[in-house]
Amino acid sequence: MIVVKLKPQINVKQISVLINRIEKSGYMPHLSKSDGRTQIGIIGDEQSILNLRLSRIKGVAEIIQTDKPFKLASREYKTSDTHIKVGEITVGGKKIVMMAGPCAVESYEQMLLIARAVKKAGADILRGGAFKPRTSPYSFQGLKQEGLKILAEVSKKTGLPVVTEVVTSANVGLVSRYADILQIGARNMQNYALLEEVGRTRKPVLLKRGMMSTLEELVMAAEYILSQGNSNVMLCERGIRTFEKYTRNTLDISAVPLLKHLSHLPVIVDPSHGTGVRSLVPATALASVAAGADGLIIEVHNNPEQALSDGFQNINIPEFNSLMKDLGPLAKAIKREM
């Protein structure tokens, strides 16, 4: 990648000349800010890009060549943390963002009940699956569009923005109409057609790590989205497969500081899937925040024993309340906010 650092005093016209030159040469310019300075990333054959002699254009401060496998997602490309706006909420800043809700949308009444309860406890964003990718074709696959509508209504009623999964590129438009954040599930982390499609929107994306993907692959998957022009990507650690049998997955806590080191993107942790065991959710949620996570996404159900999907890893509403009470002083101790 070639990074073109711009001078502070560059004007709009100069930027437009520069971008024109880049686009005419067949490259896509990626504008971003790093440490308060504007820069343009260009990916492609580096010698050819250098041959464009962009340094001669007015307003260009410096041309930098980097050879990391990650480009737009890398901390080298952008040293300051990325902040993503979701309604009134900023993900990636000082505040720990709490996303909570049931695994699957089951009914309007259920969603409203849970949404109100988690909001009261302090949650910022509502989660709930309308499209549920399931191992068996004969399992409950979600309420689909009906579920999206319920989410949107409950969102309007409570003021909570909504995160929900999109499972195929054909549905990206549909889900975008109802949701505030598009979730890419673990099974689809390397569904590149889907990644590129959400990359073509400007919606915030919650990208879950594949259940057996390396962190390098996760950041490369984010790169697929960023390379299409959408830089609103949150990386989500949700546990990986190991030989351990007490837990469904092994939550990789070191992923949090490692991803913050490799990338400027916000890091969210999902302790519900990360452990797959309800009683382990609170302790691992606290641990994730202590490790530096920018937010949590937690499955909360009013009646976990009767949830249509993954009930064994859902905490109930009093447990969520209690977790929120424990998170407050912890966030303060590490100089973050809830």
Tokens 């469904």 sit on residue: 248
Question: By C-beta, is 2 or 115 nearer to a copy of itself?
Answer: 2
Q: Which helix (H) or strand (E) holds 272?
A: helix 271-275
For residue 116, the minimal CB distance to a copy of itself (Å) is 28
For residue 121, the minimal CB distance to a copy of itself (Å) is 18
For residue 127, the minimal CB distance to a copy of itself (Å) is 20
Question: By C-beta, is 41 or 161 nearer to a copy of itself?
Answer: 41
For residue 220, the minimal CB distance to a copy of itself (Å) is 5
End-to-end Cα, the chain, rounded Å: 37
Distance of alpha carbon 128 from alpha carbon 178, whole angstroms: 12
For residue 85, the minimal CB distance to a copy of itself (Å) is 25
Question: By C-beta, is 88 or 244 nearer to a copy of itself?
Answer: 244
In the DSSP assignment, the letter for residue 171 is G
Question: By C-beta, is 61 or 287 nearer to a copy of itself?
Answer: 287
Pairing of strands 30-34, 37-42: antiparallel
What would the 3-class secondary structure string for 31-81 be? EEEECCEEEEEECCCHHHHHCCCHHHCCCEEEEEECCCCCCCCECCCCCCC
Determine the longest span between alpha carbons in the chain, in angstroms: 66
For residue 113, the minimal CB distance to a copy of itself (Å) is 28
Pairing of strands 295-299, 84-86: unpaired
Tokens 């999902």 sit on residue: 270
Work out the angle at residue 216's Cα, subtended by the Cα atoms of residues 210 and 221, and round it to the nearest 5 degrees: 60
Distances (CA, A) of 73 to 11, 65, 219: 26, 15, 7
Question: By C-beta, is 111 or 225 nearer to a copy of itself?
Answer: 225
Q: Which helix (H) or strand (E) holds 268?
A: strand 267-269
Q: For 309, how many CA atoms within 13 A lie in the half-sphere containing its CB?
A: 24
Distance of alpha carbon 105 from alpha carbon 158, whole angstroms: 16
Distances (CA, A) of 197 to 51, 134, 237: 31, 22, 22
For residue 81, the minimal CB distance to a copy of itself (Å) is 15
For residue 151, the minimal CB distance to a copy of itself (Å) is 20
Question: By C-beta, is 181 or 327 nearer to a copy of itself?
Answer: 327
Question: By C-beta, is 94 or 170 nearer to a copy of itself?
Answer: 170
Give CA 311 to chain center in angstroms. Answer: 24
For residue 213, the minimal CB distance to a copy of itself (Å) is 7
Question: By C-beta, is 6 or 267 nearer to a copy of itself?
Answer: 267
Question: By C-beta, is 103 or 240 nearer to a copy of itself?
Answer: 240
